[in-house]
Amino acid sequence: MANLTLTNSDLDAISPRLVLDKGTRPTGYKEITEDVVGIVEVKTPKAWWIAFGLSLLVTGMLFGMLAYQVMTGVGVWGNNSPIGWAWDITNFVFWIGIGHAGTLISAILFLFRQKWRTSINRAAEAMTLFAVACAGIYPVFHVGRVWRAYWLFPIPNTDINMWQNFRSPLLWDVFAISTYGTVSALFWYVGLIPDLATVRDRATGLRAKIYGALSLGWRGSAVHWNNYEMAYMLLAGLSTPLVLSVHTIVSFDFAVSVLPGWHTTIFPPYFVAGAVFSGFAMVMTLLVIFRKCFDLEHLVTIKHFENMNKIMLTTGTIVGYAYGTEFFIAWYSGNPYEKFTFINRAFGPYWWAYWTMISCNVISPQFFWFKKLRTNIPFMFVISIFINIGMWFERFVIIVTSLHRDFLPSSWGYFRPTYVDICTFIGTFGLFMTLFLLFVRFVPMIAISEVKGVVAADKHRHLPEEVEKLLVERRDEIMKVRV
């Protein structure tokens, strides 16, 4: 019986380990700590300062533009009548959508016991937080009088002596987005506590005190882990419906109206799939860069990227299917306004936006059917950028093409962004990058304790006896396939 046991390298041939050996050095617990915490401990690299300076500059432009808009009025944007929602809400939905991949990776994949998520969830959750921060700017500034934005919340007040209208999806949005932001932040911080303790125990002086305070005295006790794992599982269970509800409610902002092109029941699932699609594209874009910069190729492996590409392929195909369904229903419903809107989208004055959306979102992910392309890093990087662009255009198409020509030709118009629109949008990327750079500098960008759990599971993995027997019998065959 003894010779039936397979070695780890035999098992690797069947299902590769998620954490790969780094050169000849084995990847043990200590090495993982070194590799991840090392990034936070070294002297700040020059490249980081350059990148940080640039993003700060762009963020400065964002704040300049926002200040100008507050002082002058919403008129500095290209919004007009009938296009009262233009780039502001496009950008809002775009950024919120980006955020969804983070929650999906940390919550839904956790509940499905997808161990591969552990190497990428920390960075993806951070991305969620920063994307929600960027998204929040738009609706708040869109109200015009930003200093009255607190009127959105049901706070007893003496200014207006009235309450919010809870029958409006726009108010549901306020609750959905603020809940989403809060829960994402809590989830992220809970995940961080054990890793902050790891940084604390390696640091000295002031750093040890700061990380010590942040880690709340975590000492990895079995009692701690017991409650911690329960809390983490419950948070994942809560975030899973939450992430679906957020984009569903965002889609209600449109679907509950009567405007042709918006008033459709397909919106909630279609928006959620689109959000996951765009979010994964952004995680891809960021991780391709950061794992290279910080030498983390053994922790964020090609297998992670391949899995992400598969998710993009799935959600991208759902999105493409939704485009087709929209067109079909526009025709099949027999509603002339609906039909006009869709023909106008494809061949009207905004045809260029529509076809950019189609080519980026429908065609790009289809390449991932092929394993060669799915595992080719430069290729997937380019595709992820295309998807980011395409998903921005999707929101633009939905919002602007529906608004610009509604029921009556007397209320038709055309939207052109002003430089304030453009610079504000570019500025949010600056804010996003600034926050992300601060994150990679001061916080372990990979969930150390979770990756160690995966390594432990890899170390002690075994197959059911009959499977193992079969594999030993057909060992030569399997090894041949591997070569």
Partner 1 sequence: MSLIDLEAIRRIFDPHAPKQLWGVVAEFEDEQALLKAGEAIHHKHGYTKLDAMTPFPVHGIEAAIGIPRSILGYLVICVGLTGTMTAILLQWWTGAVDYPLVIAGKPLFAFEFAMPIMFELSVLFSAFCCVFGMLALNGLPKLYHPTMNFSRFGRATDDGFLLVVERSDPKFSAVETRQLLMNLGATSAEIVED
> By the criterion CB under 8 A, which residues form the site for partner 1?
28-30, 33, 154, 162-167, 169, 171-172, 175-176, 179, 182-183, 186-187, 189-190, 194, 197-198, 200-202, 212-213, 216-231, 234-235, 238-239, 241-242, 245, 249, 252, 448-450, 452-453, 456, 460
- 3-state SS, one letter per residue, for 267-336: HHHHHHHHHHHHHHHHHHHHHHHHHHHCCCCCCCCHHHHHHHHHHHHHHHHHHHHHHHHHHHHHHHCCCH
How many Å apart are CA 365 and CA 386, to the nearest integer?
9
CB of 279 to partner 1, least distance (A): 19
Residue number with CB closer to partner 1 (172 or 367):
172
CA distance 454 to 464: 19
**HSE-up of residue 286 (Cα within 13 Å, Cβ side):** 30
Contacts of 266 (CB under 8 A, 6+ apart): 322, 325, 326, 329
**For residue 259, what are the CA distances in angstroms to 95, 236, 329?**
24, 36, 15
**Least gap, CB of 229 to partner 1 (angstroms):** 5
Smallest gap from residue 450 Cβ to partner 1 (A): 7
Are 404 and 413 within 8 A, CB to CB? yes
Q: Which is nearer to partner 1, 220 or 413 (CB)?
A: 220
Smallest distance, partner 1 to C-beta of residue 182, A: 6
Query: CB 6 → partner 1: shortest distance, Å?
Result: 19
Q: Name which of 412, 392, 410 is nearest 402 in CA terms.
A: 412
CA-closest candidate to residue 277, choices 246, 308, 302:
308
Beta carbon of residue 256, minimum distance to partner 1 (angstroms, whole number):
10
Question: Looking at beta carbons only, is 216 or 289 nearer to partner 1?
Answer: 216
What are phi and psi for residue 25, nearest 5 degrees? -75, 130
Closer CB to partner 1, 73 or 220, in the complex: 220
Residue 437: how many CB atoms within 10 A of its CB? 19
Pairwise CA distance, residues 34 & 15, whole Å: 26
Length of the chain: 483
Closer Cβ to partner 1, 96 or 308, answer by number: 96
CA distances from 458 to 15, 220, 254, 462, 463 (A): 10, 21, 47, 9, 12
Which residues, at least 6 apart from 315, have a Cβ–Cβ distance to it below 8 Å?
A: 273, 274, 276, 277, 280, 365
Report the residue number, 404 or 452, with the smaller CB distance to partner 1. 452
113-148: string of b/e by CB count within 10 Å (b at 16+)? eebbbbbbbbbbbbbbbbbbbbbbbbbbbbeeeeee
Shortest reach from residue 30's CB to partner 1, in Å: 4
For the bound state, the minimum distance from the C-beta of residue 272 to partner 1, rounded and expressed in Å, comes to 15
Consecutive H or E run containing 211: helix 205-214
CB nearer to partner 1: give 218 or 368.
218
User: What b/e sequence results for 39-64 when a residue is b if at least 16 CB atoms lie within 10 Å of its CB, and e otherwise?
Assistant: bbeeeeeeeeeebbeebeebbebbee
22, β-bridge pairs: 25
Please report how close the Cβ of residue 193 comes to partner 1 at its closest, in angstroms. Answer: 8
Judged by beta carbon, residue 173 or residue 326, the one nearer partner 1 is 173
Reference 451, options 4, 8, 32, 2; nearest CA is: 32
Q: Are 32 and 452 in contact (CB under 8 A)?
A: yes
The least CB distance from residue 453 to partner 1, in Å, is 4
Nearer to partner 1, 424 or 449 (CB): 449
Report, in Å, the least distance between residue 160 CB and partner 1: 10
Nearer to partner 1, 114 or 168 (CB): 168
Name the residue nearer to partner 1 (CB basis): 175 or 340: 175
Shortest gap between Cβ of 129 and partner 1 (angstroms)?
A: 14
Question: Which residues, at least 6 apart from 463, have a Cβ–Cβ distance to it below 8 Å?
Answer: 6, 11, 471
For partner 1, the closer of residues 52 and 225 by Cβ is 225
Q: How far is CA 414 from CA 93, 259, 345, in A?
A: 21, 17, 13
